[in-house]
Chain A
Amino acid sequence: MSGRTMNKSRLGALPWIAPAIIMIAVFVVWPAFEMIRTSFQNVGATGQSKGWAGFDNYHTLLQNPDLKNVLIRTFIWVVGVVFFTMIISLPVAQLLNANYPGRKVVRWSIIVPWAASLVMTSTAWKWILDAYYGVLNEIAIDLHLRKESIDWLADTKQSFIWLMVVAVFVSIPFTSFVILAGLSTIPNDIKEASHVDGATSWKSYRHITFPLLKPSLFVAAVINLINVFNSFPIIWVITQGGPGYETDTTTTLAYKISFRDQDVGQSAAMAAVNFVIILVFIGLFLKASKNQEQN
């Protein structure tokens, strides 16, 4: 037997892991490399490269009159969506964890936005927010909150808020399940203590449960940062980033510049900037994992 292992060990891990490495190298690493290379090239409208361009594409990007607002909006988008997702997911996780009749059904209904295609969920929201026939107007009128229908998406500020609402809605399920998993690692006797009736309940949550949840919260926050930053279908389906570029984030902007405005070079520059931002988020994540490992 030792002879056989010796023979195999010469090739080592390669036969086992090489296919995975090749797949990842060719279809994940190479596109990343190609994208950054393109950002330094002069690319024609049809996509062919016309040689090196130095930092010209970055220069064009910096002079894009919409860039500043898109950057500010992206910041609001990421921070706002992640913040509200985390804040709302905490009580949601408590409700998923508590004991009451029909808990399974409640858990299932919260899984739906997580499992369903983001495109289709966004389509449903676009329909709910419809100016003429949308159910939100119907509800608002029936509850006497409004006298007549309004176009929820007419004003860009307001439509951007709705985009954020949808983004929070689809991010809560994953986040609350991560927190739920965190809750289940807390030993039972401590949990009992946090379930004591009356005034002590909030206190024990605040001082016992919450601190123990911090690692799961951090993991959920960083994964959300990356997902929300990359988020595309919600904006694309509901507003297409429009009117103009007024509800775009850097992710949808990069897409629009490339595939609608046909300026591949500038788009690659935007995407390269996004790439670096995501790398920073991943660095944060790795650091968090290390910290947790040490604890």
Chain B
Amino acid sequence: MSTQVLPKRHKRFTGKRVSLTISAWTMGFLFFAPYLQMILTALKSQEEITAIPSTYLPKKWAFSNFTGVWKEIPLATYLKSSFIISISATLIVIVIAIPAAYYVARNNFRGKKAFLLLVLVTQMFAPTALVVGIFREIVAFKLVDTYLALILIYAAFNMAFSIWILSSFFASIPKEVEEAAWIDGCSRFTTLTKIVLPLALPGLVTAFIFTFIAAWNEFVIALTLTSSPEHEPLTVGLTALIGQYQVQWNYLFAGSLIAIVPVVILFALIEKWLVGGLTAGSVK
């Protein structure tokens, strides 16, 4: 933070520039404020949280909450469930979306328009809207309270975004690159894995991270389809703590932060491609 870049010479250090900087920083602060409050609460002891008058900053910084939380709530189990579900859904999405996106980007075929419409419409549909139908289907499949149910649902609902973003990355790779590889005797499959996929790496990373985060953060379906603490992901497990008659906010937020921080960092990495991907339907 100390190595702040000085404004460029030709930009005058005017009052306007100062007020611009101040308003931008204030705005940034406002958006971060609820999470700052989360952090500060996670660093207070239980007694301090319910003390009146309360203080903004912890009097004694209770860093021990971040170690204690693992014993207070089954955080390790929740994290494990969230991770298994999210990574499995993401891998399914990637394996299925790559060939579909590649074919769509490279070929014209009968039904292409219908396929793209299907993809676009499902991109718009959140599982929340269909939760009643999803529940009945999963009951019929006898998959209630299993990882598999969540994995399949998350994979299906995130397929569309990955197909969009990957196909736009594939389409941007010149055909000649691939043709050269074919002439050198590479099969279509080797060309895809050795030539095309490395070139589309940013797209792959974006699809991967976006799907992972969507699955990691999902709530409604997990709330509906899981019923045992062993299968509940973080979002459901942590909120279950709020209903209890005395909420242990410090542990609740320590747990939440452990879940949020890695995801925010991943998200920041792919931010510049997300907007394009999410609004891709309007550009195509």
Contacts and interface: CB of A to CB of B under 8 A. Distances in A.
B245 interface: no
B35 interface: yes
Contacts of A159: none
A150 interface: no
Given A116-B263, A123-B242, A17 B137 contact: no
A13 to B, nearest CB: 4
Interface string A252-293: 001100110000100110010011001001100110110011
B37 to A, nearest CB: 5
B128 interface: yes
Interface residues of A, number: 100
A219 B276 CA distance: 11
B267 A115 contact: yes
A16 to B, nearest CB: 4
A117 B31 contact: no
Task: Summarize A's interface: helix, strand, loop or mixed.
Answer: helix
B259 A230 contact: no
A31 B49 CA distance: 44
A23 B4 contact: no
Interface in A106-142: 106-121, 123-128, 132-133, 135, 138
B132 A38 contact: yes
Contacts of A123: 238-239, 242, 252-253, 256
Contacts of B220: 232-233, 255
Interface residues of B, number: 104
A197 interface: yes
A24 B137 contact: no
Please give me the 3 A-B residue pairs with the lowest Cβ-Cβ distance, nearest first: A35-B133, A31-B133, A27-B156
28 contacts: A12-B109, A16-B99, A17-B115, A20-B163, A23-B92, A23-B159, A27-B157, A28-B125, A31-B130, A32-B130, A35-B133, A98-B24, A100-B24, A106-B24, A106-B28, A109-B28, A109-B29, A109-B31, A112-B264, A115-B266, A116-B217, A119-B235, A119-B239, A120-B238, A174-B275, A264-B132, A267-B132, A289-B281
Given A27-B156, A31-B137, A289-B284, 8 more contacts: A19-B99, A33-B133, A98-B24, A117-B256, A123-B253, A132-B52, A232-B219, A292-B283
